[in-house]
Structures are given as C-alpha cells and as structure tokens.
Amino acid sequence: ATSNEPRPIKRLNETLINRIAAGEIIHRPASALKELIENSLDAGSTSIKVSVKDGGLKLLQIQDNGHGIRKTDLPILAERFTTSKISSFSDLSRIATYGFRGEALASISHVARLSVTTKTKKDGHAWKATYSDGVLVPAKAGQSADPKPSAGNDGTIITIEDLFFNTPTRLSALRSASDEYARILDVMTKYAVHNSRVSFQCKKAGSGSPELTTPANSTIPQAIKLLYGHTIANELLHATPTSSGEQDPDESMDVDEEDQDMDEKGSWRSEVYFTNANYQAKKTNFLLFINHRLVESSRMKRAVEAVYTSILPKGASPFVYLSLEVDPKHVDVNVHPTKKEVHFLNEDGITAEICSAVQATLAKQATSRSFETQT
Ligand code: ADP
Ligand code: MG
C-alpha cells in the first residue's frame, strides 16, 4: 500500500489499552504514591508510613491505620472503575473524597506487581491478596489466587514492586533513583503539611531512621516548621480570606436578590500562610490545595508572586501555603487524569480577593515594623 491510502482501523487489544491508560495516571513512583496517600486519607487514617527501595522503582510500600477493605471487595479491588466512593454522576458534584474514578489500583496492577494486606475492625485477622492486570493472581506459582489469611493490624498495607517492569520506555525515561526519591519526599511533605493532624513517615527500606516523620495532631504552622525549617516558620504570616457572604454574618440576612447573587458566585474560604519580606528564596515555593487536593495553577501562582514584586527585591521569592475551599458543586475535578488541575467558578475573582488580603497583611506588618524602628 502507498502512503496515500488509509490504513485499516483496528481494535487495540485489552492489555495494550490498559497499559496506555495506566501510563496517563501513573507517571512515576511519586504519582503512584500520591494515589496511595489519597486512598489512605480517604480511609480515615491517622498514621501513614511509607517505605521505599530504589526511589520506589523496586519497592513502594504504604501502611495505614484506616478502615481497611472488606474481604468480599477484594476480588474486584484492582479492576478498572471499581470504587466505594461514588455511585452516580451527581455524586461528582458533592465529592468529598480524593478518589472517585476507581482507576489508581487498577492502573498500578497493569504496570507493577501489586499486593494488598488489609484488615477491617470486624475481621479477626488480615487478608492478603496479589494482583496483576486488574485481577487476583496467586502470590506463588501453584497456589490459588484467592486472598489468604494473614497477620496484620487494622488498616491496609499496599505493596508495589518492580514498577514499570513491563513498560521499558517509561522506565528508561526516569532519571535516577535519588531523583525519584526526592519527588516522593516532596509529595509526602506537601500532604503532611496540609494534613497536619495525620502522622506521616517515609524511609528507605532497611534503613533505621526515617527521612521524614511528623507527629499526629500538629497544626499547619508546626508542620511547616518541622518540614520546611525555622527560617521559613519564623517569618510566616497568616490570613484567612473568606467570601464576603461568610465574613459578615449580617450580609446573609440581606434581600433575596443578593442571596441569589451570592449563591451563583459561590461562597468560599481560605487559609494562607506566607512569608514576609525577611524571607527571600530563589524560587517560589507555592503549596496550593483546592478542596484539599494538591493542585497546580500557574495563574494563581503568578498572581501571588505579583503581590510580592513590590515587597521583595528582584529575584527573591516567597513561600506560600494556600488552602482554598469552595462549594464542591462549583469545582470540576474531572479535568485532568491525575487531578492535578481543577476548574472552579469565579477563579479570577477569588484569586484577586485572596491576593489583596495577603497584600494587606504584608503591608500592615511592614508599617508596624517601620514604626517600631522609628520609636
Ligand atoms: P478510588 O480511590 O478512585 O475509589 P482506587 O483504585 O484508588 O480508586 O481504589 C479503589 C477502592 O479501593 C477505593 O474506592 C477503596 O474502597 C479501596 N481502597 C484503596 N486503598 C484503600 C485503603 N488504603 N484503605 C481502605 N480502602 C482502600
Ligand atoms: Mg484512589
């Protein structure tokens, strides 16, 4: 056939489809870990311990003390689009969990060896199950694929071994184990700041002392201090910009028309911890959580950086932690395979209000400081 002629369209085989789909969600060890941390948080865990070998490529294991998985659910656990978190399309508009698509464990099972040990409070002992390509498989040749009774505490241990063993191009695109480990620590650090009530631990398998460890029941500034150091923590300011409807309780008593307007725009609240002019980093460190999801937004980052241009010398950048909560029905979390982007209503308006609150706090601190030096 000449190159002018159309080639026949063929159906891809299932294994290939699944591997392609998995590659969109699981880019590297840190993206697998993000999914696992979110599952542990969704399960109500207060302790999350991670153990890593070769930057997560050889081994990535996460142990939590959450509600566990029912034994009867184990056969479909790693199937694509199986989830305990939503059951209808409309559930998406009130989503309060990280997960909802039931794709993470399935994806992992297509590009790695996956095993799960889990125990609910009701179970007398834990169950251990091994998966490959979405289904239960025997842990060892000759055994049955059924989950096996096992020792274990309440909660879940997920073990991922030999990530990307069957996708060599993905494997060769990753740089080094130490680079991957740094990314793992970065993801964990950010989740540990935002979920400061949960205790996090991350260590290299076989090594004694963890690289990252946080106690349970910390506050966010305590977690920032522990994880980012006192140079940042000592210069932190705090603001809680909130939609005007919530800030002023009288306003919600106003006439119906305004209530409607309020409802259309949506109420929101935020919490910001940000460094003052004394702290000057080379690059902005911007931790952004929207409805508790760690997301990226270059627009919001630029807006926040713009606030600092009049405060910091050229080339100097701040540390900013921003947690924004908006009505779930105004957020679309289903715009990106890894959910690292979300769209929400009135993004520019909300960003502008947050930035002016940050600006006001910075300005107030600057004047009180110059007043101090004058007197
Ligand atoms: P999703 O989180 O989108 O539901 P996942 O593939 O990440 O999809 O997980 C599938 C299901 O497995 C979850 O809905 C949940 O019921 C269960 N699950 C996964 N990890 C855990 C865990 N650490 N603790 C309890 N249940 C879990
Ligand atoms: Mg999940």
Architecture of domain 229-374: 2-Layer Sandwich (3.30)
Task: Give 263's pLDDT tier (boundaries 50, 70, 90).
Answer: low
* Environment of ion ligand 2 (residues, CB < 5 A): 39, 99, 104
The pLDDT value given to residue 257: 44
Q: At what angle do helices 29-42 and 104-111 cross, to 10 degrees?
A: 140
Question: Whose CA is closest to atom 12 on ligand 1?
Answer: 77
Residue 346: φ, ψ to 5° = 60, 35
Q: What is the pLDDT of residue 341?
A: 83
Return the ∠ at Cα 37 (arms to 36 and 42), rounded to 5°: 95
293-294 vs 343-344, strand pairing mode: unpaired
Q: Say which residues have a Cβ less than 8 Å from residue 115's Cβ, sequence separation at least 6.
A: 128, 129, 130, 131, 139, 158, 159, 161
User: What does the block give as tokens for 137?
Assistant: 């498989």
Pocket lining for ligand 1, CB < 6 angstroms: 35, 39-40, 43, 64, 66-69, 77, 83-85, 99-106, 156
Q: Is the pLDDT of residue 252 over 70?
A: no
What tokens were used for 244? 């005007």
Q: Does ipTM come in above 0.95?
A: yes
The average pLDDT across 38-54 equals 98
Q: Which CATH number fits domain 14-216: 3.40.50.300, 3.40.30.10, 3.30.565.10, 3.30.572.10?
A: 3.30.565.10
Rounded to the nearest whole angstrom, what is the distance from the C-alpha of residue 263 to the centroid of ligand 2?
31
- Residue 101's SS3 state is coil
301 by DSSP, 3-state: which?
helix
Q: What is the structure's pLDDT at 105? A: 97
Please give the share of the chain, as a percent, with pLDDT higher than 70. Answer: 92
Which amino acid belongs to residue 215? P
Q: How far apart are CA 115 and CA 131, in angstroms?
A: 6
For the chain, domain boundaries: 14-216, 229-374
Query: By percentage, how much of the chain surpasses pLDDT 90?
Result: 78
Angle between the 220-228 and 177-194 helix axes, to the nearest 10 degrees? 160
Please check the confidence at residue 102 and state whether its pLDDT lies above 80: yes
Banded pLDDT at 92 (limits 50, 70, 90) = confident
Residue 342 confidence (pLDDT): 85
Q: Looking at the DSSP assignment, which residues form a beta bridge with residue 130?
A: 115
Name which residue sits closest to atom 11 of ligand 1, judged by CA. Answer: 83
- Mind listing the pLDDT tens digit for each residue in 287-326? 999 999 999 999 999 999 999 999 999 999 999 999 999 9
